Amino acid sequence: MDPPTSGGSAAVMWLAAAAALLLTIAVLKALRKRDDTSNKHAQGKPAGMAPAPPVLHRVALARFALAVARNGPLEAFRKQQAKLGSVFTARLLGGLFEVTFLVGPEVSHHFYMGPESDINPGNIYDFTVPMLGPEVGYAVDLATRGDQKRFYWDVLKTSSIKASMPAMIEEVEAYFLRWGEEGTVDFKHEMEELLILIVSRCLLGREVRERMLGEVRTLFRHLEDGLGLISILFPNLPTAAHRRRDSAHMRLREIFTEVIKSRRNSGRVGSDETDDVLQRLINSKHRDGRSVSDVEVVGLLLSLVFAGKHTSSSTTIWTGVHLLSNPNYLTACVNEQDLLLPTHNGANHHQIDYDVVQKMSTLHCCVKEALRLHPPVPSLVRQAHKPFTVQTKEGIEYTVPKGHTVMSTILMNHHLPHVYKDPYIYDPLRFMAGREEDKVAGPLSFLSFSAGRHSCMGEAFAYTQIKVIWSYLLRNFDLKMESPVPGINWSTVVPMPKGKVMVSYRKRQLID
Ligand SMILES: *[C@@H]1O[C@H](CO)[C@@H](O)[C@H](O)[C@H]1NC(C)=O
């Protein structure tokens, strides 16, 4: 499985690739001075196999790298695809490693569905070890990893989401009480704060939420700040950021080990008060009967937090950006809430529950469309351990050689006009019955939660918490975006709106 962490980390991989491209320019410039002959890596064609994908030669590669830096990846990839088609290879650092890009659902099957032995993340996630500890994810053996995947499923399954909902709703209600009757807020900041509170309460437990939130938050920030481009290539370089990351990791271990010990000793297992993800992880058992160790619980918790926090806050924020700049969809969502939760008791006191959240299909499509335009993980990377053949939608076959790094360009896939009509337009109705554009070109058309063996286990949990937040906002406030529609900041781990997103609100007047 991709640990839930591959959420953030894969986004960083994308940045790393962009940086490597830029680095390549420098290297190539130096090389060009010495050797100005044409590309000597002529394409080997294994007997009986389709040819290797076209290669971005030096000048094109440099141009591509500059375009990524200047115009963002979407524009750069679109131009590149127009020239070379939906499968092409970039040779980085003078051939030191080769990245093959797969654009579109037609060529993505092996990437997502191929056997683990043929194509897998390899050591791409090594850099998460100093953040999460050596007890989880790709740092452990296959059997343990299988067990951990089961633990994740267990805390993210429907019954666990249902059990988490009262705490989730309580956090949301308490948070928005602070807003008062009317005002203007930095929506980005507000949603990030709220998600930290929800995630802390539902995952880390009441102890941390109530007594140590300030410290834990700072420690998490140090872990994140230790995740720069350089950390992906050299996770243990003795930099100040890495030192802070490592001591934050040690301190988090101390804090959680203590909480876990006190829970184990208190014997309050299974009571309502302790029915959070932390408790369910503590209760987990490996297949061989072994109880999960304290440090393992810490690693599992950190992974869940990293996977859930930025991805959900970015999606909550992007949903807002699009809803508030498309009044017709905003109105449709408000109407849906009013229909589902009749206002005769005074809307503030409505109890929503899991089932009613499942019925919010208009809101669901609006969140999903924000996820299409802004996949929190814009691309994923794997290592090809065996050659494999893909066929483009034009019918051209290519064999991707063994040893290549392979990148699925999720962001690009979500903007292909033969899959999504007017792909740059925010149009939630495209997912509705009758159109279902995410299914027409097959199951690999919508990849915001990845697909296949490595798909995100937190999908239902994420949708639930995002819809709980938006349901509350829609029922209780008239909202208006005061900032212009923001562009995309590609420099963050999960792509976010550029600058501040100022939103004004006014408490809704309820008419019976
Ligand atoms: C973009 O993100 C980076 C990294 O978080 C941040 O330093 C920068 O201020 C952001 N730029 C804008 C315009 O939001």
| Cα(12) to centroid(ligand 1), Å | 15
Quote the Cα angle for 193-374-10, to 5°.
85
H or E element, residue 268: none
| Cα(492) to centroid(ligand 1), Å | 7
Q: Cα–Cα distance between 173 and 490 in angstroms, integer?
A: 32
Choice from 491, 494, 496 to test ligand 1 binding pocket (greatest atom count within 8 A of CB): 491
| Location of structure tokens 């063994």 | 402
Q: Is the CB of 491 under 6 A from ligand 1?
A: yes
Q: What is the pLDDT, as a whole number, of residue 393? A: 93
| Cα(490) to centroid(ligand 1), Å | 8
| Cα(191) to centroid(ligand 1), Å | 17
Q: Which of 431, 495, 497, 398 is nearest to 18 (CA)?
A: 495
Comparing 150-159, 245-254, 383-392, 491-500, the range with the smallest average pLDDT is 491-500
Q: Do 75 and 423 meet the contact criterion of CB atoms below 8 Å apart?
A: no
HSE at residue 98, side-chain half, CA atoms within 13 A, is: 19
Q: What is the pLDDT, as a whole number, of residue 360? A: 96
**Bridge partners (DSSP) listed for residue 384:** 119
Mean pLDDT confidence for 217-241:
85
> Which domains, ranges and CATH numbers included, belong to the chain?
6-507 (1.10.630.10)
The winner for highest mean pLDDT among 29-43, 271-285, 370-384 is 370-384
| Cα(500) to centroid(ligand 1), Å | 10
Cα separations in angstroms, 106 against 49, 344, 359, 504? 19, 51, 32, 44
Q: For the residues of 83-94, what is the DSSP string, one character each?
A: HH-SEEEEEEGG
Q: What is the pLDDT, as a whole number, of residue 490? A: 85
Q: Cα–Cα distance between 70 and 93 in angstroms, integer?
A: 21
Q: Is the CB of 498 under 6 A from ligand 1?
A: yes
pLDDT in tens, 247-284: 999 999 999 999 999 888 876 655 555 578 899 899 99
Comparing 28-37, 174-183, 485-494, the range with the smallest average pLDDT is 28-37
Q: Do 470 and 341 meet the contact criterion of CB atoms below 8 Å apart?
A: no
Q: What is the pLDDT, as a whole number, of residue 182? A: 96
pLDDT of residue 379 exceeding 70, the answer is yes
Over pLDDT 90: what percentage of the chain?
Answer: 58
| Cα(496) to centroid(ligand 1), Å | 9
Per the model's pLDDT, the better-predicted residue between 412 and 345 turns out to be 412
Q: Is the CB of 489 under 6 A from ligand 1?
A: yes
pLDDT of residue 370 exceeding 90, the answer is yes
Q: For the residues of 94-130, what is the DSSP string, one character each?
A: GGTEEEEEE-SGGG-HHHHHS-TTTEE-TTGGGGGHH
Q: What is the pLDDT, as a whole number, of residue 68? A: 84
Task: For ligand 1, atom 5, name the residue with the nearest CA.
Answer: 492
Comparing 104-113, 136-145, 382-391, 456-465, the range with the smallest average pLDDT is 136-145
Task: For ligand 1, atom 9, name the residue with the nearest CA.
Answer: 499
- Give the ranges where 226-326 is alpha helix by DSSP (H): 229-233, 240-266, 277-282, 294-324
The mean predicted confidence, pLDDT, of the chain is 86
Q: Which of 276, 304, 330 is nearest to 503 (CA)?
A: 330
Q: Is the CB of 265 under 6 A from ligand 1?
A: no
Q: Do 237 and 217 meet the contact criterion of CB atoms below 8 Å apart?
A: no
Per the model's pLDDT, the better-predicted residue between 497 and 342 turns out to be 497
pLDDT of residue 286 exceeding 50, the answer is yes
Over pLDDT 70: what percentage of the chain?
Answer: 87
Q: What is the pLDDT, as a whole number, of residue 510? A: 65
Q: Cα–Cα distance between 80 and 91 in angstroms, integer?
A: 15
Per-residue pLDDT band for 141 (boundaries 50, 70, 90) equals confident
Per the model's pLDDT, the better-predicted residue between 117 and 344 turns out to be 117
Q: Do 232 and 12 meet the contact criterion of CB atoms below 8 Å apart?
A: yes
Q: Is the CB of 500 under 6 A from ligand 1?
A: no
Per-residue pLDDT band for 21 (boundaries 50, 70, 90) equals low
Per-residue pLDDT band for 8 (boundaries 50, 70, 90) equals very low
Q: What is the pLDDT, as a whole number, of residue 114? A: 95
Per the model's pLDDT, the better-predicted residue between 27 and 178 turns out to be 178
Q: What is the pLDDT, as a whole number, of residue 38? A: 38
E strands in 174-248: 182-186
Return the C-alpha torsion angle 272, 273, 277, 281, nearest 10: -90
Q: Which atom of ligand 1 is nearest to the CA of 498?
A: 14
Per-residue pLDDT band for 441 (boundaries 50, 70, 90) equals confident
Per-residue pLDDT band for 112 (boundaries 50, 70, 90) equals very high
Strands 97-102 and 405-408: parallel
Q: Is the CB of 186 under 6 A from ligand 1?
A: no
Cα separations in angstroms, 347 against 73, 200, 332, 468, 482? 43, 27, 18, 14, 26
| Cα(67) to centroid(ligand 1), Å | 19
456 is in an annotated binding site: yes
| Location of structure tokens 């072994």 | 290
pLDDT in tens, 123-132: 777 888 888 8
Q: For the residues of 362-415, what is the DSSP string, one character each?
A: HHHHHHHHHHHHS-SS--EEEEESS-EEEE-TTS-EEEEPTT-EEEE-HHHHTT
